[in-house]
Chain A
Amino acid sequence: MNFKENFLSEKMNRRKSNLWRTMKSVIGLFGLMMVFISSQFDLALAQETGSVLIENGTVLTITGENLENTDVLVENGIITEIGENIDAPQRIDRIDATGKYVMPGIIDAHSHLNGVDINEATSPATPQVTMKESIDPNDVGIYAALAGGVTSINLMHGSANVIGGRNATLKLRYGQDQHGLIFEDAPQTVKFALGENPMRVHGESSGIHPSTRMGVEMVIREYFDAAIDYRRNRTEYLEAKEEYDHTGEGTPPIPVAKNLRLEVIADIIEGNILVHCHSYRADEILMLVQIFEDYGIENYTFQHANEAFKVAPELAEHGAYASVFSDWWAYKFEVYYSTAYNASILNENGVVTSINSDSNELIRHLNHEAAKTIRYGNTTESDALKMITINPAIQLGIDEHVGSIEVGKHADISIWNGHPLSIYSVNEMTLIDGVVYFDRENDADDMRLDRAISPTENYEDTQSRAYQNSHGREADACMQDVFMLFDSQENRQSLHQEFHNQIK
């Protein structure tokens, strides 16, 4: 043994004994930690709920009459009683809503509010990815949305792909981690996209299908057929394998490998995942209606759908929903033939219609976006309010829990100092599960959760992402991240330059 080896082995022995000593304490600590973690885990699973009596407000129930001088009792996050002079236990907090309007929290059926990445733009079909893995719980934009009375959003995947990623239905429980933001019991939804965006990203940039609206249809049909075959083959294999494992007779079946992408698509076809489809033109909308008719898919929503008004009778006939902008148009060619009367026409034709934001700015005043349906097409006040509450709830499959003020529903509520459709009204308080997440009286200037960057030093670095992204609407918000991915280095630099010129 030479010196070197000797030195090494000695060192290793020393290390070994050190290791054992460490291990002993680790085992002890680990046990303690397990106890701690599991209790934390329980906390994360069972969301914090509140009990509160909202007194003497004008209650816009949405699904029923408007009730004046009415109390709403909330116990453990659930609305348990609505009526006059409710006799609630003393221990329950009171909110005086005299002279105020109490309405269900606003639901935004199309948002990218706090998505970390929006587009997995590498294939025309990526339903295996999910926005649940792309949530920034610290985005201060959540607080601004709460200030606008919003309690739930559909955090959507982008529109680069025909069959995009799955979305995440969130409750805006600002201050919780990404798991704490998830709307429990909300069904899974997935993003589809038709028209210019997938055509540009895949056809124009990568030279694969689709580069036309013809291609868009066939991408969907090909994947649907593949998913049906896959599910049959996979199920047969699993059954045969179980049989073989059980009896041990015959030859083992040839394996059919698990395919996450096709698993999700098969679930879509079987109706377990709701489709929210980015679309603009009437023809492409009808195309998807036809596909879904062929494959027996029901309960789906067209997003944006600027030309849905042209095919409103067909949408009504098929029970398809529409989630639209109040007045956005002309920012790209496929929305040039649009009308701000879209929502009113759809509503008149019996299509369940919601008004969405797709924007961190519009999300702050969705109530006024809904109010525009009265200017454009004389929609009733009550229907206008439905478009930001119960209707988006229906589209997200959460209407049995939220979207109206009814006994048994979650206490997701916003309280306004005037009628919420008036421009002069301001939201004063937002509750989720009976817990106050926004209170105008008590909010501080700096509501960031992550305050690593000091406002006084180097404030340039704190310029908000929303502000950076707010200049112009030259493409959809749902094309976020995509341009950087597909543009050449040169283009990217010029884009940066343009950006640089715009924000100062």
Chain B
Amino acid sequence: MKKAILLTFFMICMGAQLLFAQITEKPRFGKFAITNGTIHTVTKGTIKGGIVLIENHTITFVGDNAKIPSDYEVINASGKHVYPGFFDANTRLGLEEVSSVSLTQDYAEVGDFNPHMKAFTAVNPNSVSIPVTRVNGITNVVSIPSSGVIAGKAVLLDLWGYTPDDMAVKESAGLHIEWPNAMRGGSWDDRPDEEVQKEYEKDLKELNDFWKQAEFYDEMMKQYELDPEGRSQPDKNIKMEAMREVVAGDVPVIISVNREKNIKNALDWANEKEDLNVIFAGVAEGWRMADELAEAEIPVIASSLYTTTRDYDNYQRPYQNAGLMAEAGVKVMISTGEGVENVRNVGFHAGYAATYGMGKEEALKAVTINPAEAFGVDDQLGSIEQGKKANLFISDGDPFEPTTHIEHVFINGYKIPMTSRHDQLYEQFLNRDAVNR
């Protein structure tokens, strides 16, 4: 009888452990050897039956032959594929929880000019959407605030960590500008052309005035900092202070712009600002301006939801958009444009681009090395190379295919638990009425 009680107690403990293992599982960290896999390095070709060694945060070896020290945890990736973690450069991950509940939205501050707002501050590392995203092999995102004209600064994140500091690869990844619209908004918008144009010019003037003010402020501060002697110290202006790293060209400007006419206007503006590092986001009609974008050497984050922008366009254009721009010589990044919930689908979006003209290789770059380069973190991210951060995943097939399973994910060297709300609910409810016996 005693035995039975003990056994039951033991089994209850085991059961409880199984149940809670889902939620409390810790990441593994240290030394890993991924062996026998097909390694898609992105920048240095594909290695079949290759080896990747990871020590702490870093990839320490990539190649086809290495002696594996005995203290390494070996992951046999025979028949599997190893890819650098995917990267969606235009999201709101961490800044929004439930998109219809306004108090869970932290991406839009009141006002038209808010360069001092930092997405970094509002990132919720425990957002339920983050694990949902990373277990699909997405290891990095740029989370971008949006409202008014200048919404604030985006943050480039690793999708693992307990604090924004843990997660931030670049706290100040870019200043977001929603490009002033020079077009009617939709069928409900009955403003005559002249009025639309007048409003656009007014909006643009406000932006330009703000910019001039920022340049003046930066110049003034520089002068003072160079030689404070005998000068009175200028008063600080928090907005202008935030603009200094931008006008100095140290932080990129991300301009959200979609339609041809607006792209043209934004290009004119960007071409005048030689020192600025400009990235366009959205670019639904980018294919119409592909040559101009290529000439201006402006990288783009194409996020299209695959509906044509104009009724008379060929139904395939949104799928071809990324490929057509890449063909013209534009550095293209692919984003889901999904904001939060389904950023996990970025690989499928790359798959569509690959299918409709871009080719697999370019499409893969568009979700790995291209965003790393555009955001100036290609020394750390975007490919599987010795010395880079260990952000990578192992899949049982082509990750662009929805049917493929992502089996292991490493972020910043951490082998992260492959759990999220979605698979926890699966475990809990698949055989709902089963009981532990």
Q: Which residues of A contact B (CB under 8 A)?
A: 140, 143-144, 147, 309-310, 312-313, 327-333, 336-341, 344-345, 348, 360-361, 364-365, 368-369, 371-372, 374-377, 381, 421-426, 443-448, 451, 453, 455, 459-468, 470-475, 496, 499-501, 503-504
Contacts and interface: CB of A to CB of B under 8 A. Distances in A.
Contacts of A144: 307-308, 315
B351 A423 contact: yes
Contact of A376 (B188, B310, B342, B422): B422
A375 B402 contact: yes
Nearest to A364: B306
Interface residues of B, number: 65
B111 to A, nearest CB: 13
A-B CB proximity, top 8 nearest: A423-B351, A341-B426, A504-B181, A500-B185, A371-B402, A466-B307, A339-B425, A332-B100
Contacts of B100: 331-333, 474-475
A375 B179 CA distance: 38
A102 B186 CA distance: 39
A250 B432 CA distance: 64
Nearest to A421: B403
B310 to A, nearest CB: 5
B401 interface: yes
A426 B305 CA distance: 17
18 contacts: A140-B311, A309-B426, A312-B429, A328-B341, A329-B422, A371-B401, A375-B403, A377-B426, A444-B314, A448-B311, A463-B310, A464-B307, A465-B311, A467-B307, A499-B186, A499-B188, A501-B148, A501-B181
Nearest to A311: B432
Contact of B128 (A330, A360, A368, A468): A330
Contacts of A368: 348, 402
Given A336-B128, A467-B309, A312 B402 contact: no
B99 A332 contact: yes
B312 interface: yes
Given A330-B128, A474-B100, A464 B308 contact: yes
Contacts, number: 198
A444 B317 CA distance: 12
Given A330-B129, A426-B355, A468 B186 contact: yes
B313 interface: yes
Interface string B336-360: 0001111011001001101110000
Given A330-B129, A331-B341, A375-B403, A445 B423 contact: no
A476 B305 CA distance: 16
B267 interface: no
Nearest to B406: A375
Contacts of A423: 348, 351-352, 354-355, 400-402
Interface in B187-229: 187-189
B101 interface: yes
B402 A339 contact: no
Contacts of B306: 361, 364-365
B172 interface: no
B341 A424 contact: no
Contacts of B97: 330, 336
B48 interface: no
B307 A463 contact: no
Contact of B341 (A143, A329, A381): A329
Contacts of B186: 463, 468, 499, 503
Contact of B308 (A421, A424, A426, A467): A467
A478 B189 CA distance: 23
Contacts of B258: 503-504
Given A500-B185, A504-B262, A374 B403 contact: yes
Contacts of B339: 472
Nearest to B304: A470
Given A339-B422, A473-B341, 6 more contacts: A313-B433, A336-B97, A364-B306, A369-B402, A424-B355, A503-B181
A504 B256 CA distance: 9
Interface in B78-117: 97-101
A421 B403 CA distance: 8
A455 B310 contact: yes
Contacts of A425: 355
A464 B310 contact: yes
A140 B429 CA distance: 41
A333 B128 CA distance: 13
Nearest to A422: B401
Contact of B98 (A332, A472, A504): A332
Given A144-B315, A331-B100, A332-B100, A374 B402 contact: yes
Interface string B252-294: 0000111100100000000000000000000010000000000
A376 B311 CA distance: 35
B42 interface: no
Contacts of B129: 330
A237 to B, nearest CB: 47
Contact of A309 (B183, B257, B429): B429
A423 B350 CA distance: 10
Contacts of B4: none
Contacts of B421: 337-339
B312 A337 contact: no
Nearest to A371: B402
B429 A345 contact: yes
A460 B423 CA distance: 44
B5 interface: no
A330 B338 CA distance: 12
A460 B433 CA distance: 56
A312 B315 contact: no
A448 B312 contact: yes
A13 B313 CA distance: 58
Contacts of A143: 315
A61 B148 CA distance: 53
Contacts of B342: 327-328
